[in-house]
Amino acid sequence: MLARVWRSERSVATITVALALAVGACSSAPSALSRVIASHNALRDTRGAILGPVVEGSLQEGAQQSISLALETQCYTVSAYGGDGARAIALSISDDTGALVASSERTTDAPSVRYCPRRAGNHTATVRMVRGSGTFALGSWAIDRRAADRRSTSATPTDGTCRAPHRIALGASISDSTSGAPALHASECIPPDGRTAPELVYEVEVSRPTVLQASVHARWPAVLSLRSQCDEPSTELACAIRHDERSSELAALVGPGKYLLFVDGGDERDGDFTLDVRGAAPPVGALCANAPLLVPGVAVRGTTLGKFDRVQHACGRVCPAPDAVYRLEISERSRVRVSIANAPHLATISIFRGCAGRATDTVLCRATDRVGGGAEVDAMLDPGEYSVVVDGMDISVSGAFDLRADVLRVGDVRVAAPGDHCSNAFALPSTGAVDGDLFSAADDVTAPCGARSGAFDQVFYLDLTERSLVDLIVEGPGSGTTLFVVDACDGRAALACRSTSRESSELETVLSAGRHFVVVESSRPEELARFRLFSNVRSAAAVDRLCANPTILAHNAPVHGLARPGGALLSNCDDDANDASAVYRLVLDRRSTVTLSATTRRASRAGAPIAVSIRRDCADRHSELVCDSGAMSTTSVDARLDRGTYWVIVSTAVGNGATAPFTLRAVVDPDETGLLPTFGGG
């Protein structure tokens, strides 16, 4: 075996002459060495490469040879060339610990590896003869920085950082490596725990409005992002984590100017990659001119993958994420529901008047609550053209989704729809939940509280075998609901009613045995959303015992009471303190400030808390006006109350069915100084 080692500080010309002399000195010079020389001449002319160690050898099929390489912290190209009889060679490089750091992707008669050590040291190149037998020659090259500078006196050297980004033109495809590059920046779509990988920066210039498209292909989790200002993360226009095993793609609509492409890692890894950059003309005409038409009742499979940011939605976080635009045509006033499902990312869905453009044109907008979740927008739309936009909640997100539009003309809404009246009400379990939907509901049951005319309602029936305490909770519509109970849908007075502008409404009441109807009505006209109704039924016997003939409180007169077990009357401020309860009544003939204080005189366990609350209705926990639970055995509440009758609930958590004695005192300060309120009887 013949070995030649050429030091990197020798000039390119000296190396070339020395190689030529070596070839001339051997009458049977192998063709493998000639291939090294030819490659060197090409690299010298194009990149100012310095030739490192050159090694010749001969191997039988299946055999291998290791060659020592002393490498610095810069990038190298290492190539092995086969001579006569060598048909396929494998090439790999290991560091000084023996770990494999680079290898050729294919076994050919001239494999090549690009490697950029992070630290200087001895490395080992291994040449293995895969097929055939014969000679080989190994060469390694490093870039001669001084020669490159001499050739490009007017050009600015680049190092792939924001200070000096590499330049890449539209239509170009290059191969490079992030190995040995600095870790100075992180793309917005990279998780915080993965922002330690090195990155390379490329500058691309466009002269006219362009859809800038870029893709990176790698065997590691490469991330591709685009910025308008290199050192400013807030100017990131697009970011893409790989969408399959080997590639990431992004697209962004940009104006004339210079932009920065970052090739980064989604975790701490780095390595070789191929970067492709393309430019395409923006869509011709209006944004919605070529948008697909949504056909009512027909689901479509769409995607934002490979698209770019054109529309800013009006809900949630606003960011330059890819979007997909669809057209929707409404021929007459209609109820419209557009839903998205199975999105692999957090997404938004919006309805715009006319062609999607400004956020101020948004009719409605909703965001999915989780990856893979769904979202719906419900609206009452007049005749006209609308656009539906699926957008991302973050700069990094794109992917496929299912989209559907349902349209119900106002003239087709039927009062006889299932669940729309007492005659066809849905069953409500004694304990559990049911799902409701106001999309096709009519306004045919009048609410005695809260809702205005034109609000839609849905009816459920509840069969009770005994007098019961019924707790109802409705969750769903964004603008709130009215929840009430009636014995018939004929307009007679409701047994109980509660209205709220929040997303949930609660009602607790005592109902007699028999069939009752629970009605959920939107708190404003044209609210069409879905909702969920929870119900819990308990015997009212314990409540009846507590609320029957309660003691009447007098001003500043202490009452010695006994909290008895039962747990029927729950307090909002401390549900744990309701193993034992006692009930009192307070009657005011004028507006007054009331202070109630309670102290347990003996408890079955030290520090048992005591709770005091004031209600308008003894059986309805949700009519509670004020409630407080002391950390130890004493508590007090203050309230400014209008004229009327109120219920005072004292409860404590003694446990094990024990009773708890306490002392309760009421101090009443009427608005008119010097006058005490008159207390009524039971």
- Say which CATH number the domain at 51 has: 2.60.120.380
Residue 643 located in a structural domain: yes
Residue 294 located in a structural domain: no
Q: What confidence category does residue 23 fall into, taking pLDDT thresholds of 50, 70 and 90?
A: very low
Q: Are residues 367 and 486 in the same domain?
A: no
Q: Are residues 397 and 426 in the same domain?
A: no
Lowest mean pLDDT among 17-26, 111-120, 153-162, 504-513: 17-26
Residues 6+ apart with CB under 8 A from 151: 48
pTM, entire model: 0.54
Q: Are residues 571 and 660 in the same domain?
A: yes
Single out the residue in 113, 147, 181 at which a domain terminates: 147
Residue 464 located in a structural domain: yes
* pLDDT value at 631 more than 50: yes
CB-based contact 87:41 (threshold 8 Å):
no
CB atoms closer than 10 angstroms to residue 589? 14
Q: Are residues 568 and 617 in the same domain?
A: yes
Residue 114 located in a structural domain: yes
Give residue-wise pLDDT tens across range 452-499. Answer: 566 788 899 999 999 898 989 988 766 678 888 988 887 567 788 887
* pLDDT value at 676 more than 50: no
Residue 677 located in a structural domain: no
State whether the Cα torsion 450-453-455-461 is positive or negative: positive
Q: What confidence category does residue 34 fall into, taking pLDDT thresholds of 50, 70 and 90?
A: confident
Residue 580 or residue 227, greater confidence: 227
Give residue-wise pLDDT tens across range 328-374. Answer: 999 999 989 998 888 766 778 888 888 776 555 667 777 666 666 67
pLDDT at residue 175, as a whole number: 83
pLDDT at residue 156, as a whole number: 52
Residue 117 located in a structural domain: yes
Q: Are residues 507 and 550 in the same domain?
A: no
Q: Are residues 563 and 644 in the same domain?
A: yes
639-657 mean pLDDT? 83
Residue 485 located in a structural domain: yes
pLDDT at residue 205, as a whole number: 92
Lowest mean pLDDT among 162-166, 177-181, 184-188, 648-652: 184-188
Give the number of domains in the chain: 5
Q: Are residues 143 and 168 in the same domain?
A: no
pLDDT at residue 309, as a whole number: 72
pLDDT at residue 349, as a whole number: 83
Residue 599 located in a structural domain: yes
Q: Are residues 657 and 581 in the same domain?
A: yes
Q: Are residues 133 and 14 in the same domain?
A: yes
133-153 mean pLDDT? 65
Average pLDDT of the chain?
78
Q: Are residues 213 and 239 in the same domain?
A: yes
CB-based contact 649:571 (threshold 8 Å):
yes
224-253 mean pLDDT? 79
Range of the domain at 524: 422-539
pLDDT at residue 574, as a whole number: 64
Could you tell me what percent of the chain has a pLDDT over 90?
19
* pLDDT value at 33 more than 90: no
Single out the residue in 376, 411, 446 at which a domain terminates: 411
CB-based contact 507:428 (threshold 8 Å):
no
* pLDDT value at 383 more than 80: yes
pLDDT at residue 514, as a whole number: 93
Single out the residue in 353, 377, 411 at which a domain terminates: 411
pLDDT at residue 242, as a whole number: 61
Highest averaged pLDDT of the listed ranges 426-435, 570-579, 620-629: 426-435
Q: Are residues 534 and 547 in the same domain?
A: no
Q: Which residue bears the tokens 């390694």? A: 140
Cα(563)–Cα(388) distance, integer angstroms: 60
From the list 161, 297, 148, the residue with the least C-alpha distance to 230 is 161
Q: What's the 3-state SS for 9-34?
A: CCCHHHHHHHHHHHHHHCCCCCHHHH
Could you tell me what percent of the chain has a pLDDT over 70?
76
Q: Are residues 549 and 528 in the same domain?
A: no
